[in-house]
Amino acid sequence: MVGFDPNQRRKLTPFDHAAAGAVSGVITRSVAQPLDVLKIRFQLQVEPLKFGTGSKYTGVAQAVGKIYQEEGLFALWKGHVAAQGLSVIFGISQFVSFEFLTKNTYYLLPENLTQPLYKPVYHFFCGGIAGCVSTCVSQPIDVLRTRLVSQGEPKVYTGIRHAVGMMYQEAGVRTFYKGLTPTLIQLFPYNGLQFGFYSFFKTLWKPVMSKKNEIGAIGSGICGSGAGLCSKIIIYPLDLIKKRLQVIGFEEAPG
């Protein structure tokens, strides 16, 4: 169950929500890391995605082959350790803060606004705030991950410790918060839309697909996937801007 529900049979503790956020983050990151590496490489490439224009990457299949040829198979999991740290920290802070916000919001709102019809609306705002809280906590790891993933061969950074040291020499602690403003601008609507769409899809799913008016694991997965897809399509341009800002000062890295 995502979001506070006073009618829920088993009351979950903050530890339960933290564990759920951490585990879901680890599993998702392990599966999706190669796609994330490809996404970042395309985002940081300034040339158009056309053949014969000097573009290094022109398509997904071509990019996978190019990375494998130049850097090996495990290059698709570059920055995986940092990415897992990001997923765990972000997942924990996001789920815990979202549950805290939805619980307190539920008791502050008038009773008519806590009905299923309005739940996607206040879940949007609670999810947006939870995303901003999680971003402020995890931003340094996100910047570190982006730097590790974006470097080609030869490597600028030999490892996490080396990367942290060199990044600190650039502009001190501020280096680790590059791109924070567009990240917050992106994450508030993105996270809000994720939780809002999930609540909306779940409201549609229950009466149509469930005889017991319960969503179940499969229904939750489908609603969550739909919510993530819709949210990412809407917010993707801001994600591109964020990645470009995070690598400012890192121009010497070969693509």
Q: How do residues 92-128 score in pLDDT, each as one tens digit? A: 888 889 989 988 888 888 877 777 788 888 889 999 9
Nearest to 202 by CA among 105, 110, 117, 107: 117
Identify the sign of the CA torsion 221, 213, 108, 20: negative
Residue 254: left if φ>0, alpha if ψ -120 to 50, beta else—which one?
beta
Q: How do residues 211-250 score in pLDDT, each as one tens digit? A: 666 677 788 888 888 888 888 888 888 777 777 776 665 5
DSSP string, 11-66: PPPHHHHHHHHHHHHHHHHHHHHHHHHHHHHHHH--S-S-TTTT-S--SHHHHHHH
| pLDDT of 50 above 60 | no
Q: Please tell me the pTM assigned to this model.
A: 0.69
Burial class (CB in 10 A: 0-12, 13-18, 19+), 137: middle
Q: How do residues 152-201 score in pLDDT, each as one tens digit? A: 667 778 888 888 898 898 888 888 888 788 788 888 998 999 888 988 88
* Beta carbons of 199 and 224 less than 8 angstroms apart: no
